[in-house]
Amino acid sequence: MSESTRLPVLFLTDPVVLPGMVVPVELDDAARATVDAARSSADGRVLIAPRLDDRYPAYGVVATIVQMGRLATGEPAAVLKAEKRAHIGSGVSGPGAALWVEAELVSEPEPTEEVRAQAAEYKKLVLAMLQRRDAWQVIDTVNRMTDPSALADTAGYASWLTDVQKRQLLETPDVATRLTVLTGWITDHLAEVEVTDKIAGDVRDGMEKTQKEFLLRQQLAAIRKELGEGEPDGADDYRGRVESADLPDSVREAALREVGRLERSSDQSPESGWIRTWLDTVLELPWAVTTDDSTDIVAARAVLDADHHGLDDVKDRITEYLAVRSRRASRGMTVVGGRGSGAVMVLAGPPGVGKTSLGESVAKALGRKFVRVALGGVRDEAEIRGHRRTYVGALPGRIVRAIAEAGSMNPVVLLDEIDKIGSDFRGDPAAALLEVLDPAQNHTFRDHYLDLDLDLSDVVFLATANVIDQIPTALLDRMELVTIDGYTEDDKVVIARNHLLPRQVDRAALTDAEVTVTDAALRRIAADYTREPGVRQFERLLAKALRKVATELAQDERPITVDEPDLVTYLGRPRFTPEAHERTEVPGVATGLAVTGLGGDVLFIEASSTGDTAGLTLTGQLGDVMKESAQIALSYVRSHAAELGVDPTALDKAIHIHVPAGAVPKDGPSAGVTMVTALVSMATGRPVRSDVGMTGEVSLNGRVLPIGGVKQKLLAAQRAGLTTVFVPARNEPDLDDVPAEVRAAVDVRPMSDVADIVARALEPAREQVAAA
């Protein structure tokens, strides 16, 4: 600061003036006095200072008066051109009414190379900003500027800087500092402008797209109108479709109500899409479509017999259903109250016995459409009853979709694996099935998505399950239980000959002239290569043998016969052989019978005594009920030791009962008599007969109580080669369901006292043998 001068002060609140700027100033009384004082002075200059707040300004700019005149409104004004910064000192006296101050002019040093580099960088940013605003005339002016200080002071014209920021620039005499500050400010502003421009561009593009789509839709509508074609999914079209559709009155009323809502809603509204989807679903359902049932009972039974061997219980039930329906139709008897004459059955049995395929045969015999609904692993209640329409992506439940897929209101619906549905926080699907499978309620089944009454009373529901214990009691009570037990050895041979072998021969691209499988081979496969109630593994083994036959034929085209001795070549050595004789050679091992989810099975129970300390150890993954059976058995043997011929001291040792295989969980009370027999065998040293099997619950006084699964257990006994089986006397009525060939192969003896079982099951004592 080298030059000092006295100048009149003109305070401005807007704008903040920087050196190099030319600004018009409206003259009020105070401003006029200041301008007049300046014009009357020797140099004719005025000091312009910002007044933004109560703070006395430290810097201002020295300006010359370019022109005097009036504004468009008639008010007096002056045009001032700012030239240099000046530091404002103390007030001094002067002529006129103006305020005079002592001011020191700020000199500008010669810019260094670093300052020029800063100025060049700042100029690039300024030009980028101006190019965004298409200010090409200003760009030319900025391009011609070479003085860094003058370039920095052009920020006084920047509309994006606040008055406070401009005053900061005015009060910053150092050029390098000014350029640094300005570079930061303009960089931030450019980033903000880029984001704003992008948002504005996206909004503009969206609006243009919407306008374009609107115009195209209008043009498309005009074209269709000229061609005489209606809007395919418009509200008018839906109204016509609903009015022409064969719908029940309540459904038509609800559909027309939704059409009215569609007409009042905008095409761009999400609700219109939901309404269209709902109307499409309603119109796709076969509300008035039914198929006529076959009235030929003999032909229907022939269809069932041709597709499946055995399964007489199911076949009889379907035949009875057809007979009643045809009889009611012939006498003109209709159902009252909207309840149809459908059927609800659950086919319970082990895997591979034909439960699922039976559903298609039933539909074919009835002359109805067939649809399968897989329930295995379903945990969401909405899968059955549908989602409410308020949810995004809502759909009707599986029952409604099955009816739509079948295309009729009286199909055969197979609910596969109903025992494998679960429940979690989304609800219990089994509870949702209560209304579906209740003949007294399902004529008014209401899906959450449709929210309309759907008549399911004429539907034949067939459910399949492996374990009925896993089906909730309330749901099982609504279904008619038909138990499908495993096949006998003779049944498997017949099924293989009539069904499995022809199918696998065809799949292997063979003919009957190229390969022959003898009945002896089929019987050997059923006896020694599979140990299952169904025929799935049987069919896999046949497929394996025929694949090897096809491989041989590829090398040598000659007819091949697969007989019993050839099975080792095609299937390897037998996997299953009777083991009861080997397992029961030692005392303390008895053969029991059990039922699992895979059908009947043989269970060996082992008992031994060790040490001198009394106690009972149980192993083999036993459930609580089976553990209690072991304790009951031991208590009975101890209390009836003399009657059973047992030395009481033999039971004072540590008793260990084991049920192989240890990796398989086991539970249930039906092993009680087997545990008693094993304990007596251990204590007396008399082995159990290897051809004997037994089942039954035992009480503390030795009564043999009834159990379940008699038929499956006897089938397992036959497969295991047992010839004598003891069953509870109260299960004797269940023997009527046992196939005749099983009754002929196995001597079934109903018993009521476990002591009688023990006496007949144990081998004679050595003394008795020696005496004989």
Q: Which residues are annotated as a binding site for ATP?
A: 349-356
What string of H, E and C letters represents the secondary structure of 178-191? HHHHHHHHHHHHHH
d(CA 79, CA 463): 98
Query: Could you tell me which residues are annotated as the binding site?
Result: 349-356
What string of H, E and C letters represents the secondary structure of 267-295? CCCHHHHHHHHHHHHHHHCCCCCCCCCCC
Tokens of 55: 């703070």
CA dist 769 → 596, 763, 764 (Å): 39, 10, 7
Tokens of 441: 């309620």
CB count within 10 Å of CB 112 equals 12
d(CA 305, CA 233): 49
d(CA 65, CA 82): 9
**SS3 of 732, please?**
helix
d(CA 21, CA 9): 17
| Catalytic-residue membership of 492 | no
Judge if the upstream peptide bond of residue 661 is cis by omega within 30 degrees of 0: yes
CA dist 206 → 215, 272, 751, 767 (Å): 14, 21, 86, 104
Which of 683-686's residues contact partners 24+ apart within 8 Å by CB, and which partners?
A: 683/609, 683/637, 683/641, 683/646, 683/647, 683/650, 683/651, 684/587, 684/644, 684/645, 684/646, 684/762, 684/765, 685/587, 686/587, 686/762, 686/763, 686/764, 686/765
Judge residue 200's burial from the number of C-beta atoms within 10 Å of its C-beta, 0-12 exposed, 13-18 middle, 19 or more buried: exposed
Question: Hey, what amino acid is at 172?
Answer: T
d(CA 725, CA 674): 11
Contacts of 305 (CB under 8 A, 6+ apart): 315
Q: Which of 369, 492, 666, 713 is catalytic?
A: 713
- DSSP strand pairing (22-26 vs 76-92): antiparallel
Q: Which of 41, 272, 629, 670 is catalytic?
A: 670
Terminal Cα distance for the chain, rounded: 144
Contacts of 71 (CB under 8 A, 6+ apart): 24, 26, 77
CB 567 within 8 A of CB 525: yes
Task: Tell which residue, 37, 28, 29, 43, has the closest CA to residue 9.
Answer: 37
CA dist 416 → 51, 169, 345, 437 (Å): 87, 82, 12, 14
What's phi and psi for 637, nearest 5 deg?
-65, -40
| Dihedral sign, Cα of residue 677, residue 679, residue 684, residue 689 | positive
Tokens of 111: 């810019």
| Catalytic-residue membership of 713 | yes
d(CA 351, CA 360): 17
**Helices 672-684, 624-639: crossing angle, 10 deg rounding:** 40
Task: Tell which residue, 695, 678, 697, 700, has the closest CA to residue 687.
Answer: 678
What's phi and psi for 442, nearest 5 deg?
-75, 0
Across the chain, which distance is largest between two alpha carbons, in Å? 160
DSSP H or E run through 262: helix 249-264
What's phi and psi for 401, nearest 5 deg?
-65, -35
d(CA 736, CA 741): 12
Active site members: 670, 713
